[in-house]
Amino acid sequence: MSRPEVVVHRDGELLAAATAARLVTSLVDAQAARGSASLVLTGGRTGIAVLEHLRATPARDAVDWSRVDLYWGDERFLPSGHPERNETQAREALLDHVPVPAGRVHVMEPSDGRFGDDPEAAAAAYADVLAAAGPDGSVPSFDVCLLGVGEEGHVASIFPGSPAVRERERPVVAVRDCPKPPPTRVSLTLPAIRAAREVWLITTGAAKAAAVATGLTDEDEVRLPAAGARGLRRTLWLLDTAAAAEVPATP
């Protein structure tokens, strides 16, 4: 598992623009190396801002969108098209504007979907989606897994002290009684996130500074889930100055 690296940008706008540029390069490189690229999307303000910048940059056309598989790290378990669904926001920010085939957009089921109001069934179905895509029924080695970071150190919908953060077997779980609304969600687990080649934790603002500083240590992931989000090859914390304020200076 990789050790965390930190990149700090002046402010949130620049962070989102620079991360979008970094994504273009990573997706193009993955396609050159392996034929297609796989990307796990995140919700949250910064994650969606990255997609908006990706939409706006002419360099987005360097990516062959017909060979990109898109997944989600978590989803708010709400009806299809609900404005608070991470899927809805990602579609508006980017996916409706690039020629990615519908069959490569791997959404987590909504609460009015195939399984009705059953997030456990939606989570199990998403585990099947991952198993069908990965080697020998295991989770795919995503090229990049994007994650936002909550003030209390949550990533995806894995909250401190929750059953989700203790999950060791299943790659996807239903999350109930979330401290952040909406209360019901579907989320990848830390073992699934750790299957990614690269994990990028992206966050901004002073309110995240303490979680960022602790997340960079070997803190117990049950107390601070972000500390357990590491990529096989690379773990990158992409921050603005305010979020990086409590990170110890490095040479």
Ligand X SMILES: O=C1O[C@H](COP(=O)(O)O)[C@@H](O)[C@H](O)[C@H]1O
Helices (H), the chain: 12-34, 45-56, 86-93, 119-133, 163-166, 190-193, 209-215
Cβ proximity to ligand X, 157 vs 184, nearer residue:
157
Among 86, 89, 111, 189, binds ligand X (CB under 6 A): 86
Torsion, Cα of 200, 201, 203, 207 (10° steps): -170
229-248 binders of ligand X (CB under 6 A): none
Nearer to ligand X, 65 or 200 (CB): 200
Sequence-ordered list of residues with C-beta below 8 angstroms from that of 232, at least 6 positions apart, any chain: 1, 2, 141, 194, 195, 196, 197, 198
Nearest distance, CB of residue 135 and ligand X, angstroms: 26
Stretch that binds ligand X, among 37-45, 94-102, 121-129, 137-145 (CB under 6 A): 37-45
Give the contacts of 59 (CB within 8 A, at least 6 positions apart). 21, 24
Question: How many C-beta neighbours within 10 Å does residue 8 have?
Answer: 15
Chosen residue from 17, 23, 51, 74 binding ligand X by CB under 6 A: 74
Distances (CA, A) of 187 to 53, 72, 251: 25, 8, 36
Please tell me whether residue 180 binds ligand X under the rule CB under 6 A.
yes
Q: Residues 141 to 170: which contact ligand X by CB under 6 A?
A: 147-148, 150, 156-157
Give 137 or 179: the residue with its C-beta nearer to ligand X: 179
For ligand X, the binding residue among 19, 26, 38, 46 (CB under 6 A) is: 46
Contacting range for ligand X; rule: CB under 6 A; set: 19-27, 43-51, 111-119, 236-244: 43-51
User: Whole-angstrom Cα distance, residue 191 to residue 172?
Assistant: 9
Least distance in angstroms from the C-beta of 33 to ligand X? 27
Q: Nearest distance from residue 147's CB to ligand X, in Å?
A: 6
Distance of CA 46 to the CA centre of its chain: 11
Please state the closest distance from residue 44 (CB atom) to ligand X, in A. Answer: 2
CB nearer to ligand X: pick between 63 and 146: 146
Residues forming beta bridges with residue 239, ordered by sequence position: 8, 203
Residues 194-233 that bind ligand X (CB under 6 A): 203
**Dihedral sign of CA atoms 108, 111, 116, 117 in order:** positive
E strands present in the chain: 4-9, 37-41, 68-72, 74-76, 144-147, 172-175, 185-188, 198-203, 234-240
Contacts of ligand X in 87-146 (CB under 6 A): none
Residues binding ligand X (CB under 6 A): 42-47, 73-74, 76, 86, 147-148, 150, 156-157, 180, 203
